[in-house]
């Protein structure tokens, strides 16, 4: 039997952090998405143990200030795109207000560190969310386009095809076919 799952990355990551770091006997607080504060001085050997445990889940501790800000940009974009009641504002305005830096500075820094643009990262995140919505929800492409603040289904379809190589409709058919095959087994 195959089951299709829907999950929230933010909740999943926060729960994982809470469980794993607490199991190491360290006092801490999750202060935001991708951000924790240790409430005590941590010995070097314990830091190595925490780093090792988190690395096994694909989580890295970031220390460089530029990298920290780029990670905050990524986290803010993910929050903006995947939020149920996503704000209907320009990404540039949202990022500048949320991170207290000019969008020009954030954009230049992001490109310098990641070798891609904020706009491209946003498109990739929107397409990932669109794929999740197609797989998990029974929304039409029109509803998905509206939910992701696209001006039209055509705009969503163009970006979807440019990113994945197939149209959203083709993706829907592939998912339906896979479900049919899974249900006949």
70: number of Cβ within 10 Å: 21
- Of 170, 175, 146, 151, the C-alpha closest to 160 is 170
- Residue 96 pLDDT: 93
- Residue 33 pLDDT: 63
- Whether the Cβ atoms of residue 10 and residue 79 lie closer than 8 Å to each other: yes
- Of 124, 128, 162, 121, the C-alpha closest to 144 is 128
How far apart are alpha carbons 68 and 35 in whole angstroms?
Answer: 10
Sequential pLDDT tens for the chain (185 residues) = 667 777 777 777 778 888 888 888 888 777 766 677 777 777 778 888 888 888 888 887 766 778 888 989 999 999 888 876 666 778 899 999 999 999 999 999 999 989 999 999 999 999 999 999 888 877 888 999 888 888 899 999 999 999 999 999 899 888 888 888 888 76
Residue 76 Cα to chain centre, angstroms: 9
Query: Residue 33 — φ and ψ, nearest 5°?
Result: -65, 120
134: number of Cβ within 10 Å: 21
Domain ranges of the chain: 9-55, 65-184
Q: Is the full-model pTM beyond 0.75?
A: no
How far apart are alpha carbons 38 and 126 in whole angstroms?
Answer: 33
- Of 34, 125, 111, the C-alpha closest to 83 is 125
Classify domain 65-184 by CATH number: 1.10.10.60
- Residue 85 pLDDT: 66
- Of 164, 66, 70, 76, the C-alpha closest to 116 is 70
- Residue 178 pLDDT: 85
């Amino acid at each position: 039997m195959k089951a299709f799952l829907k999950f929230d990355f933010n909740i999943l990551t926060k729960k994982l952090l809470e469980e794993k770091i607490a199991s190491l006997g360290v006092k801490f607080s999750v202060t935001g998405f991708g951000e924790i504060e240790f409430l005590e001085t941590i010995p070097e050997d314990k830091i190595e143990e925490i780093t090792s445990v988190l690395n096994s889940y694909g989580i890295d501790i970031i220390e460089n200030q530029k990298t920290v800000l780029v990670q905050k940009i990524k986290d803010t974009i993910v929050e903006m795109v995947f939020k149920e009641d996503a704000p209907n504002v320009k990404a540039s305005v949202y990022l500048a207000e949320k991170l207290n830096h000019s969008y020009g500075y954030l954009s230049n820094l992001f490109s310098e560190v990641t070798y891609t643009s904020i706009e491209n990262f946003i498109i990739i995140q929107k397409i990932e969310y669109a794929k999740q919505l197609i797989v998990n929800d029974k929304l039409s492409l029109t509803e998905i386009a509206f939910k992701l603040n696209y001006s039209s289904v055509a705009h969503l379809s163009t970006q979807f095809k440019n990113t994945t190589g197939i149209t959203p409709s083709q993706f829907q058919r592939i998912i339906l076919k896979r479900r049919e095959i899974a249900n006949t087994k």
